[in-house]
Amino acid sequence: MFEATNITKHYKQKYVLDNVSLTLTDGEIVGLVGKNGAGKSTLLHILATLLQPDSGVVSLDGQTTKATLRKHIGFVPQQLALWDDLSVKENMQFFERLSWQQHDTAQLRSICESMALTAWEEPVHTLSGGMKRKLNLAIALIQKPRLLLLDEPTVGIDLKSKLDIAEALKMLAAKGTMILYISHDLDELRNVCHRIISLGDDDFYYTLLQGTTTITKL
Ligand SMILES: Nc1ncnc2c1ncn2[C@@H]1O[C@H](COP(=O)(O)OP(=O)(O)OP(=O)(O)O)[C@@H](O)[C@H]1O
Ligand SMILES: [Mg+2]
């Protein structure tokens, strides 16, 4: 189980997160919605322990130390973080060496294939946007995370790739991985998520989604 309790964060005078709490149980896929600037990425960075909150606690199965959390949390940022001149294979091998898990080349390749990413020897700069997104996600899976935090992983990609990613996420969740997922695509959220959380004081998404899925306000 993953828990964030009473998370507060402000930048200068502005409170972005005011006493935010959430819980994820094993195998749950939870969507996170909210208007631009609502604080979604800020919250994800705090949950990934990449940003220090003003107050509040993050815990995974009762563990709160940063090193333990980092070991078990996979984070896919809004911006792509790939080596453009290296091939898919070389990127996977590079990040495998940085991770605490060990995979041989065949295992790394099968992670990519589970995402319907079939390019392997091609340099990253020759890939389409959707393929790069899939690679970004595949890299996060190398460390077999207990919790996967995704910041708009399907922005600007075609429907087929979105569905590929949706299927891959559902398979991971079926094996117990917890997934917290920021997206502005409501069809996709309804398809992928077990429930949705709306962040911020704007009720737009809440009103829109109410009655069509389980949605709660933070
Ligand atoms: N490093 C920073 N310094 C100052 N203000 C910041 C910083 N990072 C974010 N903010 C502000 O905090 C608020 C929340 O930003 P955040 O990026 O978390 O929003 P978001 O919900 O992810 O938005 P989007 O949908 O546009 O990605 C915004 O008003 C933003 O300007
Ligand atoms: Mg954001």
CATH 3.40.50.720, domain 2-83+144-217, yes or no? no
For range 196-212, the mean pLDDT: 84
Share above pLDDT 90 across residues of the chain, in percent, rounded to a whole number: 80
Residue 14: beta bridge partners?
11
Ligand (nearest to CA of 51): 1
> Which whole number is the average pLDDT over 132-155?
94
pLDDT band at 80, cuts 50/70/90?
confident
Q: What is the pLDDT of residue 38?
A: 93
C-alpha dihedral, 113 to 118 to 119 to 120, nearest 10°: 50
Res. 202: pLDDT tops 80: no
Strand partners, 58: 4
- The arithmetic mean of pLDDT across residues 175-197, rounded, is 94
Residue nearest to atom 27 of ligand 1 (CA): 36
Kindly report the protein residue whose alpha carbon is nearest to atom 28 of ligand 1: 37
- Mean pLDDT of all residues belonging to the chain: 93
Centre of ligand 1 from the C-alpha of residue 42, in Å: 6
Identify the pLDDT of residue 53. Answer: 97
Res 119 pLDDT > 90: yes
Q: What are phi and psi of 198, to 5 degrees?
A: -105, 125
SS (H, E, C) 61-76: CCECCHHHHHHHEEEE
Q: Which residue has the tokens 């917290």?
A: 180
On whether the CB atoms of residues 146 and 177 are closer than 8 A, the answer is yes
CA dist 130 and 217 (Å) reads: 31
Kindly report which listed range (36-40, 87-91, 182-186, 199-203) carries the lowest average pLDDT score.
199-203
CA distance linking residue 189 with residue 119, whole number of Å: 27
Collect residues with CB below 5 Å from ion ligand 2. 40-41
- Domain layout of the chain by residue ranges: 2-83+144-217
* pLDDT top residue among 106 and 15: 106
Res 201: pLDDT: 79
The arithmetic mean of pLDDT across residues 183-204, rounded, is 90
| Stretch among 64-73, 150-159, 188-197 having the lowest mean pLDDT | 150-159
Residues lining ligand 1, Cβ inside 6 A: 11, 16, 34, 36-42
pLDDT at 120: 97
Residue 117 Cα, ligand 1 centroid: separation in angstroms? Answer: 31
Q: Which of 74, 90, 158, 97 is nearest to 123 (CA)?
A: 90
- With H, G, I as helix, E, B as strand and everything else as coil, classify residue 10: strand
Count of positions (residues) in the chain: 218
Beta strands in the chain (DSSP E): 2-11, 14-24, 29-33, 55-60, 73-76, 147-151, 178-182, 195-198, 215-217
Joined tokens for residue 82: 């790939």
Query: Which pLDDT belongs to residue 217?
Result: 84
Answer with the residue of higher pLDDT: 11 or 13.
11
Average of per-residue pLDDT across 114-129: 94
206 vs 104: which has the higher pLDDT: 104
**CA 134 to CA 156: how far, in whole Å?**
12
In this predicted structure, the answer to whether residue 141 has a pLDDT above a threshold of 80 is yes
